[in-house]
Structure 1
Amino acid sequence: MSNKARLSTPTKSYQTRAHPKQLFTPSPPPAQTHESSLLKLELRQKLEGFLIHRREWDEVVLSRGLTYALKIVELEAEIEATFQHASFVQECEESEVTLVDGYAWKQWRKLADYRSRLDTVLVDMANVYERFQVLNDGLEKLVQTACRINGIKATFDIPVWTTWSLPRFCDHLLSLCVPFSTSLSLYNTLKDVISSKETTRQEKQAAISYWACQPLLPELAALKELLAVEVPDFLNPQYSTPRKAI
């Protein structure tokens, strides 16, 4: 009797050890979970980076560029009026006005300075555009990294937070960056129109109207509405991620 009891004990012990293997699925490796969290963090930083670069662009275009463009047109009109009504107008050519009248000389110097500053604005716009290009490269690399870590199917099918997958976020941002190239070309043309001595006042006013409305860039309201729905606490400054180079 005691021999049977001793023989049955290993059988029960073997069956008990087999149950956990049959009932439970192993959890994902901790490293993979950590890497997935880092992907979310990097995506959030790139979303923030796009908004930062867009604010930089708007500041350069609207706060600085538009100001100098308006000053150029206004000062040209003032100089034209000065030349037309000056007492010495019959005695010298327009190119010689600055040698005869001290006030006109100061105005011409100021106009040259405004034109130079507007040229600098275009350089700064090109620099912001380059930052968008760096962001684009980072978005493409982020998709590749996510596919390597999570697999292609999971990367494209599984939402990052709510309903959008990581590649969908990246594709959307890439599409929003595209118009900045054509917009930069447009502003170079508008700058030439505004600074040229050959264009009429009406042409300059039309160029300023285009400058102010940024016709080739989409409004930010739609993107902010999307992020408010898809990214938890994205528009809450309390939960913003630390700033770093994108």
Structure 2
Amino acid sequence: MSHRLASFKGPSTPSSSPVQQRQVSVGPSSPARVTESTYHRSLRTLLQELRSATETWDDLVLIDGLKAAKSLVDMRTELDNDLARAPNRLPRRHLVGPQLEVMDRKISDLDGVIAKLHKQFRKMNNIVDNLEGLVVEAHKNKGWRWVEKEPLWTTWSLEKFASNIPEILIYYHRALNEHIKLVDTLRTHAVSFDESRDAISKWAEQPWLEENGWEAKWEDLCAVEVDRWK
């Protein structure tokens, strides 16, 4: 089921008979010529929902999470500098206590980001489940050949979408686990500045998604393979 169709062969060349001239076509592989079924529309909707979930994911990581992580590290650095400058002038509890309370709130913010990433990952799983359900329904109503061999818009069949898209879950799951580890690293107030800086760098880079996230691997493909993608 996982073989990609190299091309879609259109109808054979029309004869020169006047009766056949009106049947001349540029070929059904042109998206503008495709007559969409419920399955076409449902697949497009599911793919767009998956894209939306990954966009929310990136906003959580690169805006909310990164802001909280940087603030936490900046506050720890500021506190260390304050303690180094005036170790004997102020009671340590008056200097440290309020700062620790704010830091703990930043850690809570990071925990909140992780909870929201879990939610987006569950949403991605549900979308993939719905895609698999769409294939089952199409098998019943359209037959295996339509599902596995017939290109939907350009070259990819419904089966090819359904067998390849779930791969994205592997990398978002690995990214989620990496973010959990990074929050655990930043959670302890004893973490060094170098360790904190490295954690923030990895948080922003999202190495598991650099080549296999939605934007890197699927957006351009869908722009080619899915009609009216934008």
Structure 2 length normalisation: TM-score? Answer: 0.78
- Contact 1:72-1:195 within 8 A present in 2 as well: no
Structure ranking higher on relative contact order (CA contacts 8 Å, 6+ apart): 2
Aligned partner of 1:76 in structure 2 is 76
Aligned partner of 1:168 in structure 2 is 160
1:141 equivalent in alignment to 2:133:
yes
**Counterpart Cα distance in 2 of 1:210 and 1:87:** 33
- CA deviation after TM superposition for structure 1 residue 140, in Å: 1.0
1:225 equivalent in alignment to 2:217:
no
Q: Cα 1:164–1:222, aligned 2, differ >3 Å: closer, same or farther?
A: same
Q: Which structure carries more helix by proportion?
A: 1
List runs of 5+ in structure 1 lacking aligned partners: 1-35, 236-246
- Contact 1:57-1:128 within 8 A present in 2 as well: yes
Aligned partner of 1:159 in structure 2 is 151
Q: 1:195 aligns with which of 169, 187, 190?
A: 187
SS in 2 for 1:57: helix
**Counterpart Cα distance in 2 of 1:153 and 1:45:** 23
Number of aligned residue pairs: 192
**Counterpart Cα distance in 1 of 2:217 and 2:107:** 35
**Counterpart Cα distance in 1 of 2:155 and 2:116:** 37
- CA deviation after TM superposition for structure 1 residue 127, in Å: 0.8
Deviations 1:125-172 (A, max 9, x none): 111111011111111111111111111122100011111000111222
Deviations 1:7-58 (A, max 9, x none): xxxxxxxxxxxxxxxxxxxxxxxxxxxxx71111110001101110000100
Percent of residue pairs bearing the same amino acid type: 27
**Counterpart Cα distance in 2 of 1:80 and 1:208:** 19
Structure exhibiting the larger radius of gyration computed from Cα positions: 1
- Contact 1:194-1:207 within 8 A present in 2 as well: yes
**Counterpart Cα distance in 2 of 1:87 and 1:227:** 60
Deviations 1:62-91 (A, max 9, x none): 1100111111111100011111222536x8
Q: 1:120 aligns with which of 109, 112, 122?
A: 112
